[in-house]
């Protein structure tokens, strides 16, 4: 993915929501998210699927 970015809404809470996309869609994606939110831009975003430790903790 070129220019990856993600928005994490309500980070570390059980209501956390993660949205991954491309930087060109950042404004569009941000409109659907609530505060507090964290925006991450760059190649590190591609590790999201590999490092989904938080989602697995919520499921348990």
- The predicted model scores a pTM of 0.74
Cβ(44)–Cβ(1) under 8 Å? no
Residue keyed to tokens 């993915």 = 1
Closest by CA to 11, choosing from 44, 40, 42, is: 40
pLDDT at residue 3 tops 90:
no
Q: For 18-55, what is each residue's pLDDT tens digit? A: 899 999 999 999 999 998 899 999 999 888 777 765 55
Cβ(3)–Cβ(29) under 8 Å? no
Closest by CA to 36, choosing from 6, 56, 57, 10, is: 10
């Amino acid at each position: 993915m070129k220019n990856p970015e993600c928005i994490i809404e309500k980070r570390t809470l059980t209501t956390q929501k993660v949205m991954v996309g491309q930087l060109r869609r950042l404004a569009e994606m941000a409109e659907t998210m609530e505060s507090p939110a964290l925006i991450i831009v760059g190649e590190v975003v591609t590790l999201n699927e590999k490092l989904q430790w938080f989602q697995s903790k919520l499921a348990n």
